[in-house]
Amino acid sequence: MSLSSYNPLSEMTSLRDAMNRLLEESYVRPSSAGGRNIPLDVFETPDDLVIIAAVPGASADDVNVTATGDTVTLKAKVPSETQKSQSSEWTWYLHEIPHGEFTRMIDLPVEINPQNGKATFQNGMLRLDLPKVEEARQHKLNIQSGSQAQGQKVNAGQHFEGVAQGPKPGVTQ
């Protein structure tokens, strides 16, 4: 008979790891109950809003994009190996590759013109080039200085919203 020492902290570490996994799966990486998210890169050029979506395993026919002036919705369907007829004969050890329906809705930071958008799909990457409406594009403002600005009048007593207006120095109320 051999005696082994019992370390209660080793079980607590296991419980802590289990709780971390539970919280991460529940809040950080939501489950697929409402559809899975598609990972994105979104950036803005002077004329376009560009969205790049990773949809590995999907074909161009399996991807659907709808756009309005301020929203883009991406849907993709990735087939599973389990859908093949011979898969019932296979012995599975791991089945971790994401499959099923994926959805992502993006509220855009600028308004776009979806009619003139361009979509390309290559190697599981979808790229959307969406032109911004003219009002959303950056415009350079000319700054006048010195004698050029003489025609502009400013009312020194004018109240600007959000700026505190206290008593003027030397004036009692």
Smallest CA-to-CA distance from 79 within 61, 92, 94 is with: 61
The pLDDT assigned to 87 comes to 82
Count structural domains, the chain. Answer: 1
pLDDT at site 159: 42
Answer yes or no: is 76 within a domain: yes
Q: Residue 90: inside a domain, yes or no?
A: yes
- Domain annotation covers residue 60: yes
pLDDT beneath 50, residues of the chain: 29-34, 153-168, 171, 173
Assess if residue 124 is contained within a domain: yes
Neighbours of 70 (CB within 10 A): 14
Strands 40-44 and 100-107: unpaired
Q: What pLDDT score does 139 carry?
A: 64
Q: Which two tokens stand for residue 94?
A: 């791991």
pLDDT recorded at residue 48: 93
56 domain-assigned? yes
Instruction: Classify residue 77: in a domain, yes or no.
Output: yes
Tell me which DSSP letter residue 117 carries. -
pLDDT of res. 26: 59
Q: List C-alpha distances in Å: 63 to 68, 73, 86, 89, 107.
A: 17, 11, 26, 30, 19
Say which residue the tokens 């009619």 belong to: 115
**Does residue 107 form part of some domain?**
yes
> Residue 90 is encoded by which pair of tokens?
């296979």
What CATH number is given to the structural domain containing 74?
Answer: 2.60.40.790
8 found inside a domain: no
* Domain of 99, in residue numbers: 35-136
